[in-house]
Structure 1
């Protein structure tokens, strides 16, 4: 594609640069760890997806809009290595690619490549100003209340930690943790809710305190750490208790940096304005104002 339409694509553009240098910037082996399956290569080469997400970020497009450009725009086809009659792919593939990238050992590898190109070309040489900005990224996971989090976290420890099921059978009595639902109580009864929370926290602490001494794998260690976090973030000693007699109640107010879901422990209550918050993540960016190049993200 690039060879047949080279004269139609402006020299010096990002499209021409990617068309010329894409195999060097994004070689196939760069993404080998993201696709460890022995069942063959992915249907869409990841180096094509890498070039596509670079252009997507540059132009601020949605996944659907990105695929439309790949289907209809010669510049995008040449930059990403597609043929004239290629119809690209389903937009969801970009989401799957980003998810694999985020969960990999090197989630910033594409950003690192772009940063190396910026350094090698000297495009930011002498430009020392940076514009700082932040934005809220919505999270689709549902916020969980204290009871749901405690039950969920205990269930994960029982499932992931060797020996935890035996400990739970002996020590955990507040709920049948083989059942994924909430405990059956009169939810409009404040005293019944308080008794349940107290019992669930007691279960969590006894389970944590009696787990066998052992070296834990990553999933098991994360499960134990999450249970320890959620069993303490929403509760405080009950009235007249110093915390040593095992009596607990729901905390008054919201804990700082509260985990809002055991499904996605990194999600938080994010303030969009002083009076409005939503669940998700806050992204921070630094960019060079004249070129618009992003130089750092968190």
Structure 2
């Protein structure tokens, strides 16, 4: 690649574009306001210094963003570069410029992923905004997440293992078509089971028949991973992605002993964070939230929300579906700090907060505003009895007094899940004879587990604060991020990934965020008011009658 300054918009292109769009349009306003918003120098590391000249990476980056802004395929994006006057204006191309082949955007995305440059596109747009005073540090930000469905078919467990076996056979047939012909992998039974997709034919209906079918597939799968290790097999077959995936899936789904190959019980299977769910995307996981389950990923959007500035997405990260939200809070703070966009206030929901997270954020100069979990346990569930907050703690003497006046007999420092905790026991004899035992504990004696003092006191303070109307009014600022997620879903289809794998899905979400920022900048420049919450006609009628 030979980085060159972005050319000015040719006079003929500008004249035709102005005639076609007298009021301008999004692509033209981006060019007028920012010039060449994405410079090629940001992507130098992804291209060789020798060889034939490449298509301008800066142009490809802008094409990728416009492509996601309009939900176009690679072929449609290449056609838009070749035939649309507003895109030619934004890219600074001559009217007769033929553009490029539709395969080029895919190759460009692969280069970005291979060289770790996925965030450069969003960073470049944010840098332009920062220079023009459209972003600033020390303001307000808010974060929320939404699910992303993987680009796969939904399969039950029997279909899943059958399809995994079929994919491994397909990979072997392509990698070394001459070799399987001389092995046991080619036989009539295997052909009947694996010649088509697992969901393309009817599987056995009876429980006994389905179990027998599953065990046959399991036996076939245990034979196949050993076959590439045969001395006569080509050396590269054992490392094929589909074969490695098959070995992992069989270890998770089957057990082999003296009685043969059998299903693993649900408790014997690995946890959801490690368990593979589709054979076509080894990174996707099964996530569950409020009773809804999906196979895929989770994306976390952070936007600034100062009233006097456009609301721009400043950070986006995509994780497997099983990743808890609270694991991302510190990462968001670190990323915003590195970009010079550290907020003074960060509004999040309860999934991103904990006493420890709030304290760590305060050390960075960020106030995390979000609800913490209320006290749990039996009293909280039954709305009666003694909760942990009813016990009086003396941190200096390391003793706890229960509501009945009894003093704890043991105070010990411990760890749970690698985090420090305080374990407190009361006397078994004292609890057994206590008249309030039935409303205190069902165990032989009461046990308390406390956070370290600073975290414990902060937790109690926040639980009290979040019940006040003043705090609720302040926290109302977080609600706006729901509109951002809605816009990402409706405009860019953010809840369904086009690609397979976490890396490509992450890049797609970054491009989606960059596209949304272009829309929001265009709205800011044209003075278009922000959208309001949708209200149905029936709801409007009820509200008007109630008023």
Residues 103 and 69 (structure 1), Cα distance of their counterparts in 2 relative to 1, 3 Å cut: closer
**1:172/1:206 contact within 8 Å kept:** no
Residues 23 and 249 (structure 1), Cα distance of their counterparts in 2 relative to 1, 3 Å cut: closer
What is aligned with 2:173? 159
Residues 181 and 24 (structure 1), Cα distance of their counterparts in 2 relative to 1, 3 Å cut: closer
Report the Cα offset of residue 195 of structure 1. 1.8
Are 2:147 and 1:136 aligned?
yes
- Structure 2 spans left out of the alignment, 5+ residues: 1-7, 319-547
**1:127/1:288 contact within 8 Å kept:** no
- CA distance in 1 between counterparts of 2:238 and 2:127 reads 38
What is aligned with 2:191? 176
What is aligned with 1:276? 292
- CA distance in 2 between counterparts of 1:139 and 1:98 reads 21
Counterparts of 1:1-298 in structure 2, within 5 Å, are 2-4=9-11, 5=14, 14-16=30-32, 19-20=35-36, 22=38, 24-25=40-41, 47-55=58-66, 60-63=69-72, 74=86, 76-83=87-94, 93=102, 99-104=106-111, 105-106=113-114, 109=117, 111-115=119-123, 118=126, 126-127=137-138, 130-144=141-155, 145-156=159-170, 158-159=172-173, 165=180, 169=184, 175-176=190-191, 179-181=194-196, 187-209=204-226, 211-212=229-230, 220-235=239-254, 243=257, 245-249=259-263, 251-252=265-266, 256-257=272-273, 258-271=275-288, 273-290=289-306, 291-298=311-318
- Structure 1 spans left out of the alignment, 5+ residues: 238-242
Report the Cα offset of residue 248 of structure 1. 0.5
Q: How many residues align?
A: 276
CA displacement 1:89-137 (0-9 Å, x = unmatched): 99xx4xx555434444537535315425645855655347543232333
- CA distance in 2 between counterparts of 1:135 and 1:107 reads 27
Residues 228 and 101 (structure 1), Cα distance of their counterparts in 2 relative to 1, 3 Å cut: farther
Residues 51 and 251 (structure 1), Cα distance of their counterparts in 2 relative to 1, 3 Å cut: same
Report the Cα offset of residue 161 of structure 1. 6.8
Report the Cα offset of residue 172 of structure 1. 9.0
TM-score by length of 1: 0.64
Report the Cα offset of residue 216 of structure 1. 6.0
| Structure whose alpha-carbon radius of gyration is higher | 2
**1:287/1:295 contact within 8 Å kept:** yes
**1:19/1:78 contact within 8 Å kept:** no
Residues 15 and 69 (structure 1), Cα distance of their counterparts in 2 relative to 1, 3 Å cut: farther
Report the Cα offset of residue 286 of structure 1. 3.2
Report the Cα offset of residue 259 of structure 1. 3.1
- Greater CA drift, 108-117 or 177-186: 177-186
- CA distance in 1 between counterparts of 2:203 and 2:46 reads 53
**1:25/1:113 contact within 8 Å kept:** no
Residues 87 and 182 (structure 1), Cα distance of their counterparts in 2 relative to 1, 3 Å cut: closer
- CA distance in 2 between counterparts of 1:161 and 1:67 reads 32
Residues 252 and 22 (structure 1), Cα distance of their counterparts in 2 relative to 1, 3 Å cut: closer
Residues 174 and 252 (structure 1), Cα distance of their counterparts in 2 relative to 1, 3 Å cut: farther
TM-score by length of 2: 0.39
- CA distance in 2 between counterparts of 1:164 and 1:177 reads 20
**1:161/1:216 contact within 8 Å kept:** no
- CA distance in 1 between counterparts of 2:10 and 2:238 reads 49
Residues 152 and 17 (structure 1), Cα distance of their counterparts in 2 relative to 1, 3 Å cut: farther
- CA distance in 2 between counterparts of 1:282 and 1:218 reads 33
- CA distance in 2 between counterparts of 1:188 and 1:63 reads 42
CA displacement 1:220-242 (0-9 Å, x = unmatched): 342232001221333457xxxxx
Residues 54 and 195 (structure 1), Cα distance of their counterparts in 2 relative to 1, 3 Å cut: same
